[in-house]
Each structure stands twice: as C-alpha cells, then as structure tokens.
Amino acid sequence: MKFIVFRFNPDTDTTPRMQEYDIEVTRGMMLRDALMEVKRQDESFSFRHSCGEGVCGSDGVNANGTNVLGCITQVADLKEPITIRPLPGRPVVRDLVVDMSQFYQQYRAVKPYLIRKDPLPEQEILQSPEDRDKLDGLYECIMCGCCSTACPSFWWNPDKFHGPQALLQSWRFLADSRDQATEERLDALEGPYKLFRCHTIMNCVEVCPKHLNPTKAIGHIKELMLKHAI
C-alpha cells in the first residue's frame, strides 16, 4: 500500500517534502505499525510513539487530512494512498514530530489539579457514585493534542485561546464535587479569548480518539459561568 509521508529534517532539508513508501499491509495493521515499517525502511524517519494501545497519547498524526491516534487507527480504514502529515498548526521539529509546548502551556494555565480549601480528612473525601459519574468523559483525556490542533480557533490564537483540551481539563475540575475553586477557575476564564474563542465548530469532537466531547464541556463551563454571574 502506498504511503505518502511528510518529511522534514532541519539539519539536512531547507523545505519539507513528501516521500512515498510502499508498505506491505497485514491483517489488523494499525497506522502506527505502518509508520514503524516506514522507519524500518528508512532509519532517518522520526515520529513519536510508545504504548501502542491508545493510552499514552504520543502518536497523534494527521492521516488523509484528519487527526488520528496512529496506534488505534486501522490502516484498512484509510483510503489509499495514505497521506501522513504532522498535527496541523504546530511548528514542525522534524518529520511528524511537532513542538507541543504551547499546547502544554495552555494545559498548565487552567490549573489542572484538585484545589481543596477545607482541611483534608484522614480518609478519602467522600463522593457519591452520581458525582463521580460526572467525571466520566473528562478524566480519560490522554493529551494527544488531536483536538486542539484540529481547532481553527486554536490555530488562529494558540497563545491566547486555551483550546479544547485545556478547557476539557478545566471542566474536569469544575465538575469534580471535591474541588473548591469554582469561582477562581471561572474568573480566570473570563475575557474574550481563553474560553470564548470557541465557536462550536466541533472539529475537536469529531477527531477525539477517546470519543470525548470538549465542545460539550465548554458549553457546561459557559452555563456555569452564567449561573454564577446572575
């Protein structure tokens, strides 16, 4: 099967190029397996990958125009020739490796940790199963970056708009019955950029390899903000 892969090595190339590889596809082959085959053919090809089972979030790439997680994307589900590019909108370090530092910065900006003001009990903080259920669909995020790099609002304002990933995280803590920093979290999201650049384009929902819904989370944040404002 024909793969057309984005190649750029700043040490040797002045401009990016697309290189063709012929990969023998086996049954059940995942895109990551195919990329590992490419690397077997051509040692100089670089991409990030690790767990191979969709939990570490290393191998987000753009396949035929859509952001996917390589290790859980069946090659058979992609149309030949398969064009592989790095995640869009991020500076390319080399080949499929992009610089994700802004993405991580946005994550850190939402204070992605539980804030508790009351003294801690000696045992667990109690939480009802119903309250715990509210975290389903939020805590599973693996930070692969497929969503934020598919989001036009994030492309235009990656330095100011938090992007779907960070906002999903923000809601993960706002939705947690144990968290006690709702006001601060909401205040920090005020202004036209951090939250309100989301125009519900929903690319994030479409590409999320873990089937999470950042747009819905963003909607919840807006509702909660409104509730607190009036």
In the range 178-217, which residues lie near another protein by CB under 8 A?
A: 178-179, 189-197, 199
Binders of another protein in range 141-170 (CB under 8 A) = 142-143, 152-153, 156-157
The residue written with tokens 């479409």 in the block is: 206
Q: Does residue number 57 form part of the binding site for another protein (CB under 8 A)?
A: yes
Closest CB to another protein among 62 and 162?
162
Name 114's Cβ contacts closer than 8 Å, sequence gap at least 6. Answer: 173, 176, 178, 179
212 close to 220: Cβ distance less than 8 angstroms: no
9 binds another protein (CB under 8 A): yes
Interface positions, 31-50, toward another protein (CB under 8 A):
39-40, 43-44, 46-50
Q: Is 122 in the site for another protein (CB under 8 A)?
A: yes
Question: DSSP of the chain, one letter per residue?
Answer: -EEEEEE--TTT-SS-EEEEEE-PPPTT-BHHHHHHHHHHH-TT-------SSSSS---EEEETTEEEEGGGSBGGGSPSSEEEEPPTTS-EEETTEE--HHHHHHHHHT--S----SPPPSSPPP--HHHHHTTTTTTT-----TTGGG-HHHHH-TTTS-HHHHHHHHHHHHT-TT---HHHHHHHT-STTTTTT-----HHHHH-TT---HHHHHHHHHHHHHHHH-
Q: Which of 23, 89, 167, 176 binds another protein (CB under 8 A)?
A: 176
**Which residue stretch of 17-25, 83-91, 131-139, 200-208 sits at the interface with another protein (rule: CB under 8 A)?**
131-139
Does residue 219 interact with another protein by CB under 8 A? no
- Tell me the closest approach of the beta carbon of residue 18 to another protein, in angstroms: 19
Tell me whether residue 2 or residue 152 sits nearer to another protein (CB atom).
Answer: 152
Nearer to another protein, 81 or 94 (CB): 94
User: Which of 81, 127 has the CB closer to another protein?
Assistant: 127
- In the list 6, 7, 34, 54, the residue contacting another protein (rule: CB under 8 A) is 54
Number of residues engaging another protein in binding (CB under 8 A): 75
- State yes or no: residue 225 binds another protein (CB under 8 A): yes
Contact between 76 and another protein per CB under 8 A: no
Minimum CB distance to another protein, residue 153 (Å) = 7
Beta pairing class for 60-63 and 66-69:
antiparallel
Shortest Å, Cβ 140 to another protein: 6
Least separation in angstroms between residue 188's CB and another protein is 11
